[in-house]
């Protein structure tokens, strides 16, 4: 398998609350390899007051079925996401503290996983542990197409978080 196959497998979509984040935040999120190798979209959107003032939605859109993603390919993607989360994402989220209703969506052709988060640390850990989350869903072979978890639920169910 060619390492560059990972770039055709994942698209990253990030939605930021328009009244809180800046153009500089958007530029910070567009670092390599997400700036030029992965299809990446970062945008601003208005949300009602029910969400936290630092709301963020991160969508990881895979162009394969859940069962079809190879462990090696997922590992390569997770490494890129881990490095990005620990540097660029962490820098943008630092010193923010109102993430109510923020979420990370992991979408496959046949399966959608939504994890609701309420803190910077939760968001970073979810993005950094995509392989563990996907592994848990694959191992348990639920026959659902849509999964909704709160961060505390998924941490309890997954084997280990980095």
Token pair of 74 as six digits? 């997922």
Contacts of residue 147, Cβ cutoff 8 Å, sequence gap at least 6:
111, 112, 113, 114, 137
The residues spanned by each domain of the chain are 3-46+74-141
Q: How much is the pLDDT for 67?
A: 87
Asked if residues 117 and 123 have their Cβ atoms less than 8 Å apart, the reply is yes
Q: How much is the pLDDT for 5?
A: 82
pTM of the model as a whole: 0.92
Q: How much is the pLDDT for 142?
A: 66
Provide the 10 A C-beta neighbour count for residue 7. 18
Handedness of CA 128, 111, 43, 16 (dihedral sign): negative
Fill in the DSSP letter of residue 50.
T
Q: How much is the pLDDT for 51?
A: 80
Q: How much is the pLDDT for 52?
A: 82
Could you please report the per-residue DSSP string of 81-100?
HHHHIIIIIHHHHTT----T
Q: 103 forms bridges with which residues in the sheet?
A: 57, 116
Q: How much is the pLDDT for 111?
A: 93
Counting every residue written for the chain, the total comes to 162
| Cα(145)–Cα(133) distance, integer angstroms | 15
pLDDT tens for the chain, residues 1 to 162: 567 788 989 999 999 988 889 999 999 999 999 988 999 999 998 877 678 889 999 999 999 999 888 888 999 999 999 999 999 999 999 989 899 889 999 999 999 999 999 999 999 999 999 999 999 998 887 667 899 999 999 988 886 776
């Amino acid at each position: 398998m060619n390492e560059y196959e990972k770039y055709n497998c994942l698209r990253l979509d990030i939605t930021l609350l328009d009244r809180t984040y800046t153009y500089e935040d958007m530029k910070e999120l567009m670092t390599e390899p997400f700036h030029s190798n992965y299809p990446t979209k970062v945008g601003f959107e208005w949300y009602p007051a029910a969400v936290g003032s630092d709301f963020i939605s991160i969508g990881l859109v895979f162009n394969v079925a859940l069962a079809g993603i190879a462990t090696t390919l997922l590992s390569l993607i997770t490494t890129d996401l881990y490095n990005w989360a620990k540097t660029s994402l962490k820098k943008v989220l630092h010193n923010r503290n109102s993430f109510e209703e923020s979420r990370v969506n992991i979408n496959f052709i046949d399966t959608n996983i939504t994890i609701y988060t309420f803190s910077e640390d939760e968001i970073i850990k979810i993005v950094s542990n995509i392989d563990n989350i996907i592994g848990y869903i694959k191992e348990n072979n639920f026959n659902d197409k849509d999964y909704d978890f709160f961060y505390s639920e998924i941490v309890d169910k997954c084997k280990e978080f980095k």
